[in-house]
Amino acid sequence: MAAMSLNRAAILTWAFLVCASIATGLLIGGKGLSPAIVVSLILLIAVFKARMIVLHYMELKHAPLSWRLAFELWVVAAAALILGIWLFTGSAANCVAP
């Protein structure tokens, strides 16, 4: 019975990852949104995908709290740093809307 619930969790995680990948593709091809919003949304999707992979497939959700907290802080800090550098160095201003 426990194996069935693990399989169900893996399938649901996989389905989320597929949907998130499709959403990323739709955002890239979408029209009408500013490039800064598109990049921000894609980065947010990437953060959630990274969390799902590490927590569920690498089973960090069963690790000690200190490991999980370190990962959670790292992924948020990395995303904030990437987005901050992109926004505040003028890279966002150089993008043109499709």
Q: How confident is the model at residue 15 (pLDDT cuts 50, 70, 90)?
A: very high
Residue 94, pLDDT above cutoff 90:
no
pLDDT one-digit tens code per residue, 63-81: 999 999 999 999 999 999 9
pTM: 0.78
SS3 sequence of the chain: CHHHHHHHHHHHHHHHHHHHHHHHHHHHHCCCCCHHHHHHHHHHHHHHHHHHHHHHHCCHHHCCHHHHHHHHHHHHHHHHHHHHHHHHCCCCCCCCCC
Cβ proximity of 69 and 61 under 8 Å: no
